[in-house]
Structure 1
Amino acid sequence: MAWRRSKEHAPTPARRPSRHGRHGREGRSPIVRPPLPPLETRVDRFDLAVGTAAEFLRSAWPELRDVSFEVGDMPPSTDDDGIPRWRALVDEKRIIMYRLPIERLSHLHRDDDLHRRMMVESSVFRAAAEYLGRDPWDLGPERFRFF
């Protein structure tokens, strides 16, 4: 005697999804999705802020035209002052900005995109001032005239 399934346990055929959702609107096809906004991460915003501040400083100060502004995640070690936010290497013509200490250890009085960008730019200005042996306010007095 062969074993047979009863009709109670027979699989039901898969139904096609209806074109209308539960709110009566037409559903989207799985091939065409709505346009998504471009992805912008904290790393991208940090790189953009460092790059624009570095380009401004290079255009204003000829001593910085050959200097490489680089972004690193974390410094390799701490120093006497704690965790460094940047390193100015005059002999190698490099300024390394460390993203995580700048973003996480800086205290903002208002946590929004503008103030985060200003904090990153001020760190770039302070690193360039350390590289040149000058005061940060001497590097771009016209840039912050309206703030």
Structure 2
Amino acid sequence: MDSSAPQPPADPAPAGPPRPRRRDRHGRGLRGPLAPPQVPLSLSRSELFEDYVRESVERLERRWPQLIDVEFEVTEVPDEDPESPLPDGAGVPLGRVVPAAQGHRSRITVYRRPVEIRAKSREDRAALVHEIMIEQVAELLGLSPDAIDPRYDED
């Protein structure tokens, strides 16, 4: 046979549906989740952040029952609002208060991404979220942050 002659194509893959790939190369079982769903490790960063806000709101509502009528929300980043521009050098806001208007309840917004950038550990993040919530509630109620939570600004 001539070695310069073209070789016939190799047999095509067997017909039928493709088989799912498995990662059980060494007989130790299939890979699964690192933690069960009820463990905080399995929460996403945004879910964990929302838990910080919820815990802070619950603490504040116990002391200030009028906060039940206030909406609390978490947003990724602040929207650029041409009606309320930031003063020069003010930086990125961490939260915002929108007072009640006709047919709308008061709303307090916390911005997740700027807060996460400023606080690296979970404990620092939870403390910063609570501080922001105290400041926003104080602005909404027209009180000082110390009146909202006596432990405000303690290290």
Flag whether TM exceeds 0.5 (same fold): yes
- Structure 1 partner of 2:115: 102
Q: Secondary structure at the match of 1:65?
A: helix
Q: Is contact 1:59-1:65 (8 Å) kept? A: no
* 1:63 CA displacement: 2.3
Answer with 46-55 or 83-92: which moved more.
83-92
Deviations 1:31-82 (A, max 9, x none): x544531322211111000011011111211221210111111111251123
Q: Is contact 2:95-2:109 (8 Å) kept? A: yes
For the structure 1 residues 103 and 20, does the alpha-carbon distance in structure 2 shift closer, same or farther, using more than 3 Å as the test? closer
- Structure 2 partner of 1:27: 28
TM-score (norm 1): 0.68
TM-score (norm 2): 0.65
- Structure 2 partner of 1:126: 135
Of 65, 69, 74, 1:66 maps to: 69
Answer with 136-145 or 89-98: which moved more.
136-145
Q: How far, CA to CA, are the matches of 1:133 and 1:143 in structure 2?
A: 16
Q: How far, CA to CA, are the matches of 1:48 and 1:97 in structure 2?
A: 12
Asked whether 1:51 is paired with 2:58, we answer no
For the structure 1 residues 143 and 137, does the alpha-carbon distance in structure 2 shift closer, same or farther, using more than 3 Å as the test? closer
For the structure 1 residues 42 and 20, does the alpha-carbon distance in structure 2 shift closer, same or farther, using more than 3 Å as the test? closer
Q: Is contact 1:126-1:136 (8 Å) kept? A: yes
* 1:10 CA displacement: 8.0
Q: How far, CA to CA, are the matches of 2:33 and 2:116 in structure 1?
A: 31
Q: Secondary structure at the match of 1:56?
A: helix
Structure 1's unaligned 5+ residue stretches are 12-18
For the structure 1 residues 58 and 36, does the alpha-carbon distance in structure 2 shift closer, same or farther, using more than 3 Å as the test? same
Spell out structure 1 runs of 4+ moving beyond 4 A.
32-35, 142-145
Q: Secondary structure at the match of 1:27?
A: coil
Q: Between Structure 1 and Structure 2, how many residues are aligned?
A: 127
Q: Is contact 1:125-1:139 (8 Å) kept? A: yes
Q: How far, CA to CA, are the matches of 1:115 and 1:84 in structure 2?
A: 18
Task: Tell me the amino acid that sits aligned with residue 36 of structure 1.
Answer: L
Asked whether 1:117 is paired with 2:126, we answer yes
